[in-house]
């Protein structure tokens, strides 16, 4: 064969191979279209681009191809697609990743998937799949990750699932209905790094084979029905970083020996049946942050060597049978944030050394047998949020210096033997939301300063020896007679005890009374003159900036649109009546309607000269009863200015129509950018334009606006209607919070309509949506937390995939973080982001959205959290 013949043969071979490859590619398109054919609902249009005329590698959303032109990856996340999984996918000859988490696929996993020999990652988590886990999935030799968590799989975990798992790195079956034992064949997964079998119905013991893979670092078995001993079977797991055995029925000794492991950071053995003592801890990992052994049958004393775990952030020893005293050495754990020891048989005193824990936020010593006094040193714990020393035998007085705990939100000292008076300095703890001093031996009067505690949601002084008149401050009167009962010498409202003549009072002479009255009148006169001078000065300054127009339409026009009082807060707005007549005619033009909400519709009004404003036409006045109250509210809001707040420009009042004028923000709302696929803004916005840096700045700007309203405005301004439609975006995507301070205009709190509205949107704090209707700045913090989750995930706060199903965003995110699958939450359109930074923001959102108001930070603290996240992730 000469060279020419060889080249010709080579050409023919490549041509035939090329035609076969092209045929295979065409066949793969058919496979993908069969997959789409099994879909019964695609509410977000995730597969809209999967059409016959398209090229899978170029046009099919979520599909990535290899260099050879074969489908290598299928990534469709959080699209709420319904239908059955198609077995045709097994025909893709080079498929390496199949990730469909966060959809609504139902039925079982096709057995044919076990034949995809090239598959490295199979993620079908958070769907509605059911049936048994196919044993055939154990036939995939290249599989690195298998995640079937968050479904409804039942039956046992097949032992053959792990017969061919040499390359498998992580397996998750969490949040299913699996039963039976943990297969010992898991030992075959030599390169396994971790597994999550939590939140199932698994039974049996802890198989020692779990420790066979030398690199195993992550074991999550919490919330099952596992039993038997652990300490004698887990000792060979020497690479552990994360161990969760919580909420099972394990017994015997707790595996405390693991605390010495170099890389261990998380140790949870809570709510089992572990017995024995807490042994001496010779060495402890510097990385260990979390120890929770609460809810067991541990006995004996707390060994002081626990202080060797110097890196601890949480130590929970509560609900055991521990005795002895609290080791003062615990005070040397400088960065400890949470210390819980409640419900044990611990005696002795509270060690003063606990005041050396500089970062402590929660100190729970309830239901022990402590005696002695409350150490003054606890006043040094400047970041303390919760102090619970209730149900002990503490004596002495309540320290005057507790006022230094400026962040304190929860103070529970009830059921002790405390005596003396209630320190008036407690009234300086303005963040306090829970105060219980009942069942003590306290005497004296109730300090008037407690009326400063306007955020209280729990207050109890009953069963003491207090005397005198109960202060009239609404902050404490709201809790009714039960908060003051069984104090025989107390009188006045809300007790049904009249402060009568039998109560001795000092009697002043007529001369003294006249002198006091005269002095008071002189002082009042001086104050009045001073106030009038100041008011006159302020009025002059105010009138320079505010245009007030009380007018009727000119005789030449038949318009009656603005007959009433018009007040403008901005000199940039036109002041001629004719300009306003033309501009406000937009209210009759539906084409100018740009939005609406719970209190009215919003229109865009434009004037000659290029001036544009937003005009809210009110449809309800809520608690506002008349024009005077309306003007008082608007005048208060008209002077508020902040870069991240939409400025109020003025208002209009007539008997038939009320308008609020505000700055026009041209780039739409956060809601439109996140959730409206048809939205087009002046900045060519939309979801794709919200890369992570912009989203973070939107979150930070909104937080700064709320912190300004809560902490810098006097009196404090609440929002109580925070949602993504009320966060507008400027030309540079800067956040502009609107509709703040309009609480009195909302539908009357307590009405069925408002409760229904709040429950539907999912932004509203539980205490505001419930019958208690106790609102505070923490309601805004809760709503902001949901906003943070919405910004990261791109999901709405409440979604209803089906008629009988509701998915709460907060629960969705919490579940993903608990499963170690935070990336499942990320918005698919998110671009250019640091995963660490995004996860930190998610965690801040969950902290803000805590059920209990006392667990939520202030907005000032939230701003600090977010700024620290950005500074630590430059």
> For residue range 286-334, what is the model confidence (pLDDT) as tens digits?
889 999 999 999 999 999 999 999 999 899 999 999 999 999 999 999 8
Residue with more model confidence, 401 or 580: 401
Q: Is residue 835 part of a domain?
A: yes
Q: Is residue 822 part of a domain?
A: yes
Residue 746 confidence (pLDDT) above 70: no
399 touches 374 (CB < 8 A)? yes
Q: What percent of the chain has pLDDT over 90?
A: 54
- Identify the band that residue 575 occupies on the pLDDT scale cut at 50, 70 and 90: low
Mean pLDDT (whole number) for 537-558: 40
What is the 8-class DSSP label of residue 711?
A: I
Q: Is residue 691 part of a domain?
A: yes
* Whether residue 629 is found in the same domain as residue 739: no
Which residue, 611, 644, 664, sits at the end of a domain?
664
* Whether residue 735 is found in the same domain as residue 654: no
Q: What is the CATH number of the domain that holds 634?
A: 3.30.200.20
Cα torsion 241, 242, 245, 247: sign? positive
* Whether residue 693 is found in the same domain as residue 625: no
Tokens of 810: 């907060």
Q: Is residue 595 part of a domain?
A: yes
- Among the residue ranges 72-76, 317-321, 561-565, the one predicted with the least confidence is 561-565
Contacts of 764 (CB under 8 A, 6+ apart): 758, 779, 782, 783
Output the pTM of the full model.
0.59
Which residue, 499, 525, 545, sits at the end of a domain?
545
Report the first-to-last Cα separation within the chain, whole angstroms: 66
Q: Is residue 6 part of a domain?
A: no
- What is the rounded distance in angstroms from the CA atom of residue 126 to the CA atom of residue 595? 34
- Identify the band that residue 543 occupies on the pLDDT scale cut at 50, 70 and 90: very low
- Identify the band that residue 647 occupies on the pLDDT scale cut at 50, 70 and 90: confident
* Whether residue 515 is found in the same domain as residue 555: no
Which residue range(s) make up the domain with 590?
547-664
Residue 241 has a pLDDT of: 92
* Whether residue 749 is found in the same domain as residue 715: yes
* Whether residue 771 is found in the same domain as residue 867: yes
Query: Mean pLDDT in the chain?
Result: 83
* Whether residue 656 is found in the same domain as residue 747: no
797 touches 769 (CB < 8 A)? no
Q: Is residue 267 part of a domain?
A: no
Residue with more model confidence, 560 or 411: 411
* Whether residue 681 is found in the same domain as residue 778: yes
- Identify the band that residue 768 occupies on the pLDDT scale cut at 50, 70 and 90: confident
Residue 7 has a pLDDT of: 52
296 touches 269 (CB < 8 A)? yes
- Among the residue ranges 165-174, 430-439, 584-593, the one predicted with the least confidence is 584-593
User: Counting Cβ atoms within 10 Å, is residue 475 exposed (0-12), middle (13-18) or buried (19+)?
Assistant: middle
**The length of the chain, given as a count of residues:** 874
Residue 354 has a pLDDT of: 95
Q: Is residue 515 part of a domain?
A: yes
Could you tell me which of 118, 89, 121 has the C-alpha nearest to residue 105? 89
Q: How many domains does the chain have?
A: 3
- Among the residue ranges 666-680, 734-748, 823-837, the one predicted with the least confidence is 734-748
Residue 873 has a pLDDT of: 61
* Whether residue 641 is found in the same domain as residue 776: no
Residue with more model confidence, 600 or 867: 867
- Identify the band that residue 739 occupies on the pLDDT scale cut at 50, 70 and 90: confident
Residue 66 confidence (pLDDT) above 80: yes
- State the pairing for strand pair 658-663/612-618: antiparallel
Could you tell me which of 231, 189, 186 has the C-alpha nearest to residue 209? 186
- Identify the band that residue 755 occupies on the pLDDT scale cut at 50, 70 and 90: very low
* Whether residue 686 is found in the same domain as residue 798: yes
What is the 8-class DSSP label of residue 181?
A: P
167 touches 143 (CB < 8 A)? yes
Q: Is residue 718 part of a domain?
A: yes
Mean pLDDT (whole number) for 667-677: 88
Residue 741 has a pLDDT of: 81
Mean pLDDT (whole number) for 744-757: 48
Which residue, 664, 683, 703, sits at the end of a domain?
664
Tokens of 515: 């002198």
Residue 538 confidence (pLDDT) above 50: no
Instruction: Give whole-number Cα distances, 461 to 206, 477, 525, in Å.
Output: 50, 12, 40
- What is the rounded distance in angstroms from the CA atom of residue 842 to the CA atom of residue 529? 54
- Identify the band that residue 578 occupies on the pLDDT scale cut at 50, 70 and 90: low
* Whether residue 529 is found in the same domain as residue 613: no
* Whether residue 521 is found in the same domain as residue 594: no
State which of 31-35, 533-537, 687-691, 731-735 shows the largest mean pLDDT. 31-35
pLDDT tens readout for residues 206-257: 999 999 999 999 999 998 999 999 999 998 999 999 999 998 999 999 999 9
Residue 841 confidence (pLDDT) above 50: yes
Q: What is the CATH number of the domain that holds 870?
A: 1.10.510.10
């Amino acid at each position: 064969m000469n060279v020419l013949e060889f080249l010709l043969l080579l050409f023919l071979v490549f041509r035939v191979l090329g035609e076969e490859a092209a045929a295979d590619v065409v066949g793969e398109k058919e496979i993908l279209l069969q997959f789409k054919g099994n879909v019964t609902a695609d509410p977000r249009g995730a597969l809209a681009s999967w059409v016959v005329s398209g090229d899978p590698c170029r046009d099919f959303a979520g599909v990535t191809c290899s260099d050879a032109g074969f489908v290598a990856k299928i990534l469709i996340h959080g699209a709420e697609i319904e239908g059955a999984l198609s077995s045709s996918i097994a025909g893709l000859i080079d498929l390496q990743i199949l990730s469909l988490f966060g959809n609504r696929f139902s039925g079982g996993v096709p057995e044919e998937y076990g034949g995809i020999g090239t598959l490295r990652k199979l993620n079908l988590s958070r769907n509605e799949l059911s049936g048994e886990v196919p044993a055939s999935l154990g036939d995939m030799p290249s599989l690195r990750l298998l995640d079937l968590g968050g479904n409804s799989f039942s039956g046992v975990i097949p032992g053959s699932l792990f017969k061919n798992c040499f390359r498998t790195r992580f397996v998750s079956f969490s949040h299913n209905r699996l039963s039976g034992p943990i297969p010992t064949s898991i030992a075959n997964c030599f390169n396994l790094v971790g597994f999550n079998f939590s939140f199932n119905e698994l039974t049996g013991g802890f198989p020692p084979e779990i420790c066979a893979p030398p690199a195993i670092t992550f074991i999550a078995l919490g919330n099952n029905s596992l039993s038997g001993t652990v300490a004698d079977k887990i000792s060979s797991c020497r690479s552990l970083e994360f161990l969760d055995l919580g909420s099972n029925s394990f017994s015997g000794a707790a595996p405390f020996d693991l605390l010495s492991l170099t890389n261990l950071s998380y140790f949870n053995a809570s709510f089992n049946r572990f017995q024995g003592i807490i042994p001496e801890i010779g060495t402890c990992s510097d990385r260990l942050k979390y120890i929770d052994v609460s809810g067991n049958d541990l006995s004996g004393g707390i060994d002081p060597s626990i202080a060797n775990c110097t890196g601890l952030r949480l130590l929970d020893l509560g609900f055991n049978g521990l005795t002895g005293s609290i080791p003062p050495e615990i005070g040397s754990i400088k960065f400890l944030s949470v210390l819980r020891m409640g419900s044990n048989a611990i005696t002795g005193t509270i060690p003063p050394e606990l005041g050396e824990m500089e970062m402590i936020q929660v100190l729970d010593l309830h239901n022990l047998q402590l005696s002695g006094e409350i150490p003054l040193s606890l006043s040094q714990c400047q970041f303390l949020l919760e102090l619970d020393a209730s149900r002990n035998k503490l004596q002495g007085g309540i320290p005057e210096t507790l006022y230094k705990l400026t962040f304190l939100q929860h103070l529970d000292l009830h059921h002790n033997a405390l005596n003396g008076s209630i320190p008036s300095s407690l009234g300086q703890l303005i963040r306090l939301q829970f105060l219980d001093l009942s069942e003590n031996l306290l005497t004296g009067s109730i300090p008037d300063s407690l009326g400063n505690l306007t955020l209280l949601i729990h207050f109890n002084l009953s069963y003491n020896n207090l005397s005198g008149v109960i202060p009239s401050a609404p902050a404490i009167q709201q809790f009714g007679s039960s908060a003051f009962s069984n104090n025989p010498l107390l009188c006045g409202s809300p007790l049904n005890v009249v402060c009568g003549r039998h109560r001795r009072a000092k009697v002043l002479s007529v001369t003294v009374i006249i002198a006091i009255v005269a002095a008071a009148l002189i002082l009042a006169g001086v104050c009045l003159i001073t106030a009038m001078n100041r008011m006159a000065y302020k009025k002059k300054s105010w009138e320079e900036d505010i245009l007030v127009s009380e007018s009727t339409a000119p005789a030449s026009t038949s318009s009656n649109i603005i007959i009433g009082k018009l007040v403008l807060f901005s000199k940039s707005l036109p002041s001629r009546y004719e300009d306003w007549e033309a501009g406000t005619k937009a209210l009759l033009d539906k084409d100018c309607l740009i939005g609406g909400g719970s209190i009215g519709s919003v229109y865009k009004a434009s004037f000659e000269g290029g001036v544009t404003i937003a005009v809210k036409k009110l449809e309800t006045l809520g608690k506002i009863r008349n024009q005077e109250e309306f003007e008082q509210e608007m005048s208060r809001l008209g002077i508020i200015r902040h870069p991240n707040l939409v400025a109020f420009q003025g208002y209009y009042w007539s008997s038939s129509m009320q308008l609020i004028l505000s700055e026009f923000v041209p780039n739409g709302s956060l809601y439109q950018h996140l959730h409206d696929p048809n939205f087009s803004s002046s900045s060519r916005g939309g979801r794709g334009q919200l890369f992570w840096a912009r989203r973070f700045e939107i979150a930070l700007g909104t937080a700064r606006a709320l912190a300004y309203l809560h902490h810098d405005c006097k009196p404090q301004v609440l929002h109580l209607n925070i949602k993504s439609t009320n966060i507008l975006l400027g030309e540079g995507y800067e956040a502009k919070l609107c509709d703040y301070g309009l609480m009195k205009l909302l539908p009357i709190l307590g009405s069925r309509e408002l409760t229904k509205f709040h429950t539907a949107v999912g932004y509203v704090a539980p205490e505001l949506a419930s019958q208690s209707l106790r609102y505070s700045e923490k309601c805004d913090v809760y709503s902001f937390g949901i906003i943070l989750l919405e910004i990261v995930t791109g999901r709405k706060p409440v979604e209803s995939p089906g008629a009988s199903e509701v998915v709460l965003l907060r629960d969705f995110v919490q579940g993903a973080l608990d499963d170690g699958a935070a990336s499942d939450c990320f918005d698919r359109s998110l671009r250019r982001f640091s995963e660490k930074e995004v996860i930190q923001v998610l965690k801040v959102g969950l902290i803000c959205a805590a059920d209990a108001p006392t667990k939520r930070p202030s907005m000032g603290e939230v701003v600090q959290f977010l700024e620290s996240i950005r500074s630590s992730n430059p």
